[in-house]
Structure 1
């Protein structure tokens, strides 16, 4: 299945007159670290720009201050959420240093609320450990490492050469939805494979994956019931987020270089164009 603007439009939740901030979805975010603090800022800012009732950020005061400086509407108190995003900007080795260990401890709260969950970077190892609907967002190198834990020897280059095969195989093994990032992004679960149009090469910039995680999280949080009710909805949400991510990047680029922050600035316009 090739994803399109028309298909994306069906996944963007438009607020109704009776909606309030809680009914519009609440996204819980566990991202960023002492090594990569910018990931916390980028993922939360992207979620806010995508449109969700509330973003809750889980962290120590240091990262929280950075997030609030960029997005003062983010809530830094724990509470109920309708989706999780975790792992962006956090290294996978939780014993790398003390601050990383502290960030990994926050992952324990994910299982306390059985809502749609997006795992990126340092949280990918949780992929087969959660009971709720789970989406993982690895690039080829991360997927190769993840599959290696299950005795499957494959290189990042081999995955990049045949992304549909390896995204599907990972989805089958782990029982999750897989968004395999790359110039040819693929989304797969054990039933369907979705191919995204080729993305702009300008997206190959630091922090763009953190932005994507925030977009996915926001759309998932506004589609909680739909994801819990349909086996394929999470894949469709992931494809929609990737489509919007690329469209925002193209709006920011206009044929020239961009930064992750520039992509965030163009997310609302990208969504307006999808909904038009």
Structure 2
């Protein structure tokens, strides 16, 4: 088990240099949101930009596309080079439009790392392992559904400390990194490495849309890491189960950034530190990310 803190997070992030361009900083592709839940696309895109990538490509339905461009006009809405993906946030497998399943399976078969959230989790339930690294991001109920789909018993609502072993078991069965979201988020990979990142007083994060923000942070961290691996500046090979520990560590770093941004936003909402925090929205959390990233890089 890995104890996770600011220094561990700092080891997984890199500030841009004078020789970097947008491609060397990382390009993230985001295929999220739906006509029913367009806000998920806005939140994931916002979080990716705020975490620090060179480019965000958003590929989604018309309504969320319009909202994304209204909020973040620098977002590119055409296909092209991508170094990591986020899929599934703000979608429902039961109402997936015609052809969307094929498009998502095509992304999952590509060599780039893919963050798989919410309405796309069913697509990895068959345990197929072709393609690149997968980072699965279920909350407890989604995790139980995923476990049942891959032939594992559900953990139930009172799993407690069994969540760690359960997430590790799911990682082994799916061949993916599992980010089991909650007040104590578990990050596990198939080989047995895992970390637990506690919210540390940020229970205000339990609000709609913060999971979409986390997906964007995860995608941004993965895109940056993939861009560095293209240049040969990252250790670890990133491929196969033996190579998933570096990606699990990057996932843990993203979770830590998200939770620290939640704490900072809650402090700001309450008028300063030491007051127990106050209510936040998902966009508040995304807005706190740049200062948190700067603090980490200063380490």
| Correspondence for 1:141 | 141
CA contact (8 A) 1:50 1:267 kept: yes
Q: In the TM superposition, what is the alpha-carbon distance from 1:158 to its structure 2 partner?
A: 4.1
Q: In the TM superposition, what is the alpha-carbon distance from 1:112 to its structure 2 partner?
A: 5.8
| Correspondence for 1:238 | 251
CA contact (8 A) 1:140 1:159 kept: no
Worse-superposed segment, 49-58 or 159-168: 159-168
One of 190, 207, 223 as aligned partner of 2:209: 207
Worse-superposed segment, 241-250 or 228-237: 228-237
Given the superposition, is the C-alpha separation of residues 35 and 195 from structure 1 closer, same or farther in structure 2, using an over 3 Å criterion? same
For structure 2, the 5+ residue unaligned runs are 268-276
Q: 2:158 and 2:144 mapped to 1: Cα distance?
A: 9
Q: 1:153 and 1:112 mapped to 2: Cα distance?
A: 27
CA contact (8 A) 2:13 2:221 kept: yes
- Report how many aligned residue pairs link the two structures: 272
Q: 1:75 and 1:41 mapped to 2: Cα distance?
A: 13
Given the superposition, is the C-alpha separation of residues 228 and 109 from structure 1 closer, same or farther in structure 2, using an over 3 Å criterion? farther
Deviations 1:131-152 (A, max 9, x none): 2111100011001001111232
| Correspondence for 1:259 | 281
Q: In the TM superposition, what is the alpha-carbon distance from 1:62 to its structure 2 partner?
A: 2.3
| Correspondence for 2:185 | 185
> What root-mean-square deviation, in Å, do the aligned CA atoms of Structure 1 and Structure 2 show?
1.6
> Is 1:250 the equivalent of 2:263?
yes
CA contact (8 A) 1:135 1:176 kept: yes
For structure 1, the 5+ residue unaligned runs are none
Q: 2:160 and 2:78 mapped to 1: Cα distance?
A: 40
Q: 1:213 and 1:228 mapped to 2: Cα distance?
A: 23
Q: 2:294 and 2:103 mapped to 1: Cα distance?
A: 35
Deviations 1:130-189 (A, max 9, x none): 421111000110010011112323243144442101100000111110000000111001
| Correspondence for 1:153 | 153
Aligned-partner SS, 1:138: coil
CA contact (8 A) 1:90 1:100 kept: no
Q: 1:187 and 1:126 mapped to 2: Cα distance?
A: 20
| Correspondence for 2:195 | 194
Aligned-partner SS, 2:222: helix
| Correspondence for 1:222 | 224
TM-score by length of 1: 0.93
Deviations 1:231-257 (A, max 9, x none): 211111111111010111111111111
Deviations 1:3-32 (A, max 9, x none): 110000011121111110111111000110
Q: In the TM superposition, what is the alpha-carbon distance from 1:113 to its structure 2 partner?
A: 3.3
CA contact (8 A) 1:180 1:187 kept: yes
The runs of at least 4 aligned residues of structure 1 exceeding 3 Å deviation read: 99-106, 158-161, 226-230
Deviations 1:21-73 (A, max 9, x none): 11111100011011111000000010001000100001233221110001111
Q: 1:150 and 1:208 mapped to 2: Cα distance?
A: 27
Q: 2:106 and 2:75 mapped to 1: Cα distance?
A: 18
Given the superposition, is the C-alpha separation of residues 268 and 135 from structure 1 closer, same or farther in structure 2, using an over 3 Å criterion? same
